[in-house]
C-alpha cells in the first residue's frame, strides 16, 4: 500500500448534474497532477474514468458528455463512481501507486466513500480537500429520517397503534364474551396478534423511509420534482401522526377507564 492515504465515508448527499460536472472537473484536474505523471510527463498510463449504473445496467465512460447523457436519461440512477488510477496502482491492485476514487451509491451507505492514496502526501491532501469541498456543498437532511430518533419514533408509533387497536378490540368485543376477565383476555390476544404482525410492518416502513430518504439522492430537475413533493408529504404526515397519537393515547386511557368501570359495575 502507498505510504499516504486519506479516506472518508460519505452519505446524506444530493447529487445534481451540476455537482456531477464539478466532480468530473476536480478529478480531471487531479489526474493531470498525479505524481507518476509529473515525474515522467511522457507517461500517459494514468487512467481517469467514470462508472455509472442505472436501471440495472452499468457503463464505464470516459467523457463528461456521455456521463451526463446517461445520468439524465436514466429512470433510476443507482451508482456513480469517479476513479483515477496510475499504472502501478492498476497492476498491483492498489497495493502501490497513486489512486483516487469517489463512490456514490444510492442504496448502500457502506459503499459510499472518498479515498485517495499515493507516495506523495501533498497530492493526497490536495486531492482529498478538493473533492471534499464539493461534497460539503451536497449535504442534505436525509440523516434525520434514517437516524436513531426516526427509528425510535417509528417504534413508539407502532406501540401506540398496537395499544389503541387492542384497546378498541377489547372494548368492542367484551360485551359479547361472557367469561371472566373478558376485557383483558381480548386485549392481550389482540396485542399478541399485532405484535407478531408489527415485525413485518416495521420492516416495510423502514424500507419505505430508506427509499424516500436514500443515503445518496441523485437529483434530475426534469425527473425528480415529484420526489421532493413526496418527501414533504411523508415528513408532514409522519409529524401529524405522532401528534395525533399523543392526543389519542390520553383520550383512550380515559375511555378505557370509563368503560372498564362501567363493565365492572
Question: Which residues are 104's β-sheet partners?
Answer: 80
Long-range contacts of range 128-137, CB-CB < 8 Å, 24 or more positions apart?
128/6, 128/8, 130/26, 130/29, 130/30, 131/23, 131/26, 131/27, 131/100, 131/102, 132/8, 134/19, 134/22, 134/23, 134/26, 135/10, 135/13, 137/19
Q: How high is the pLDDT of residue 186?
A: 83
Residue 232 reports pLDDT greater than 60: no
pLDDT in tens, 12-61: 999 999 999 999 999 999 998 998 877 766 655 678 889 999 999 999 99
Question: Rounded to 5, what percent of the chain is helix, strand, coil?
Answer: 60, 20, 20
Cell numbers representing residue 212 in the block:
424516500
Residue 153 reports pLDDT greater than 90: no
pLDDT in tens, 182-194: 888 888 888 898 8
Q: How high is the pLDDT of residue 60?
A: 93
Q: How high is the pLDDT of residue 181?
A: 79
List the helix and strand counts (H, then E) for the chain: 9, 8
Q: How far apart are CA 39 and CA 72, in angstroms?
A: 38
Q: Which residues of 132-151 are buried (b: 16+ CB within 10 A; e: fewer)?
A: bebbeebebebeebbeeebe
Q: How high is the pLDDT of residue 209?
A: 83
Cell numbers representing residue 28 in the block:
480531471
Q: How far apart are CA 263 and CA 56, in angstroms?
A: 60
What is the DSSP code string of 62-86?
A: -SHHHHHHHHHH-SSEEEEEEEEEE
Q: How high is the pLDDT of residue 16?
A: 93
Among residues of the chain, what percentage have pLDDT more than 90? 38
Residue 260 reports pLDDT greater than 60: no
Indicate yes or no: pTM above 0.85.
no
pLDDT in tens, 102-146: 999 998 989 999 999 999 999 999 999 999 999 999 999 888 888
Per-residue CA distances from 182 to 54, 178, 203 (Å): 57, 7, 32
> Maximum distance among all alpha carbons in the chain?
97
Cell numbers representing residue 10 in the block:
460519505
pLDDT in tens, 68-96: 999 998 888 999 999 999 888 888 888 88
Q: How far apart are CA 3 and CA 242, in angstroms?
A: 52
Per-residue CA distances from 77 to 25, 139, 216 (Å): 20, 18, 10
Collapsed DSSP state (helix, strand, coil) of residue 249: helix
Residue 228 reports pLDDT greater than 90: no
Per-residue CA distances from 220 to 15, 30, 138, 208 (Å): 9, 26, 14, 21
Amino acid at each position: 500500500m502507498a505510504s499516504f492515504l486519506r479516506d472518508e465515508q460519505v452519505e446524506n448527499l444530493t447529487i445534481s448534474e451540476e455537482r456531477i460536472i464539478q466532480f468530473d472537473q476536480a478529478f480531471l484536474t487531479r489526474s493531470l497532477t498525479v505524481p507518476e505523471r509529473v515525474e515522467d510527463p511522457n507517461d500517459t498510463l494514468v487512467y481517469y474514468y467514470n462508472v455509472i449504473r442505472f436501471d440495472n445496467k452499468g457503463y464505464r465512460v470516459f467523457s463528461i458528455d456521455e456521463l451526463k447523457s446517461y445520468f439524465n436519461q436514466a429512470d433510476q440512477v443507482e451508482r456513480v463512481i469517479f476513479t483515477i488510477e496510475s499504472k502501478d496502482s492498476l497492476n498491483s491492485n492498489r497495493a502501490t501507486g497513486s489512486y483516487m476514487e469517489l463512490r456514490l451509491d444510492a442504496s448502500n451507505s457502506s459503499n459510499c466513500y472518498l479515498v485517495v492514496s499515493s507516495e506523495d502526501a501533498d497530492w493526497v491532501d490536495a486531492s482529498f480537500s478538493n473533492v471534499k469541498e464539493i461534497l460539503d456543498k451536497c449535504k442534505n437532511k436525509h440523516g434525520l429520517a434514517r437516524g436513531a430518533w426516526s427509528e425510535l419514533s417509528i417504534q413508539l408509533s407502532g406501540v401506540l397503534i398496537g395499544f389503541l387497536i387492542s384497546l378498541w378490540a377489547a372494548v368492542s368485543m367484551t360485551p359479547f364474551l361472557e367469561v371472566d376477565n373478558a376485557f383483558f383476555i381480548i386485549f392481550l390476544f389482540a396485542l399478541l396478534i399485532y405484535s407478531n404482525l408489527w415485525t413485518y410492518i416495521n420492516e416495510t416502513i423502514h424500507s419505505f423511509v430508506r427509499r424516500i430518504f436514500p443515503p445518496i439522492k441523485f437529483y434530475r430537475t426534469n425527473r425528480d420534482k415529484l420526489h421532493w413533493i413526496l418527501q414533504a408529504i411523508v415528513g408532514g404526515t409522519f409529524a401529524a401522526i405522532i401528534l395525533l397519537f399523543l392526543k389519542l393515547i390520553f383520550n383512550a386511557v380515559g375511555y378505557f377507564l370509563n368503560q372498564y368501570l362501567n363493565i365492572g359495575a
